[in-house]
Amino acid sequence: MLTVDKLSYSVGNKTILADINFDLQHNSLTCILGPNGAGKTSLLKQICGLSKNKSATIKFGDEDLLAMTELQRAALIAYVPQKTSSLPDFSVREFIQQASYCHSAKTLPIDLDAILLTCELKTIEKQSLSTLSGGEMQRVLFASSLYQASPLILLDEVTAGLDPAHHDSICQLIHKTKELHKLTYLWVTHDINAALRYADRILILKNSKLIFDDTPDALKNGILLSEIFEKEFKVLSDEQGQKYLI
């Protein structure tokens, strides 16, 4: 579905991404892990065209993503950023509603009330964005990405700062919506256990390079992760045999 070919990106003489190559299968959940400053956010921004790069080839199917207009790209890719700059002071409902701008009203496949309910935002739908807590804002941004109804969703640390219950509910929502709406997710996270549990595939960036591209199973003994993150991981199992790294 998405092909990233020979993607390199530098600012001045600083290399931020070096010769990145991978593709994403339709209806898959791929997590991107890696130390701080590895280039994860920069990679998502490159894919959704937020920072320009004439040398890379990024294709959606057979189409060149970087040659598309923003509106055309938005119909294909939704992006939930790690940081939001100041947003206009809409209510939660008004803000999410605007995510559908890239579709004509007739083709809108998802009901807004259903999304508000699923993302536990119904009770605060009239509240203005400026009054939301950090975790509520995260859920609003995630809900917007669902309402945008684009087949590929890029998530940048969408569960960071959520309490344990909302963290689990967003992880499960990602998993559930992937199945239900046949979505494809590319999810940058520092939550290694969520990646091991939910991802079909894991990419690891370190020092601007893609150094790992495989299934979560290859990481579950913690050995490779210990090397990559320069920290010792211990492996625990719960009663169902689900493995966790601490």
Ligand X SMILES: Nc1ncnc2c1ncn2[C@@H]1O[C@H](COP(=O)(O)OP(=O)(O)OP(=O)(O)O)[C@@H](O)[C@H]1O
Binding interface with ligand X (CB under 6 A) = 11, 14, 16, 34, 36-42
Question: Smallest distance from the beta carbon of 11 to ligand X, in angstroms?
Answer: 4
Taking the least distance from each CB to ligand X, the nearer of 34 and 49 is 34
CB nearer to ligand X: give 35 or 216. Answer: 35
Q: How far is CA 237 from CA 24, 38, 121, 137, 245, in A?
A: 30, 29, 34, 33, 9
CB of 41 to ligand X, least distance (A): 3
Token pair recorded at residue 114: 């259903």
Closer by beta carbon to ligand X, 124 or else 194 = 194
List the strands of the sheet with 209-214, edge to edge: 77-80, 152-156, 184-188, 29-33, 201-206, 209-214
Report whether 42 contacts 17 (CB < 8 A). yes
CB of 172 to ligand X, least distance (A): 24
- 64 vs 203: CA distance, rounded Å: 22
b or e along 137-148 (b: 16 or more beta carbons within 10 Å of the residue's beta carbon)?
Answer: bbbbbbbbbbbb
**Helix, coil or strand: residue 209:** strand
Q: How far is the CB of 214 from ligand X (least distance, A)?
A: 19
> Which amino acid is present at 219?
L
| 9 vs 142 by CB, closer to ligand X | 9
Question: Which CB, 51 or 107, lies closer to ligand X?
Answer: 51
Distance in Å, CB of 43 to ligand X, minimum:
7
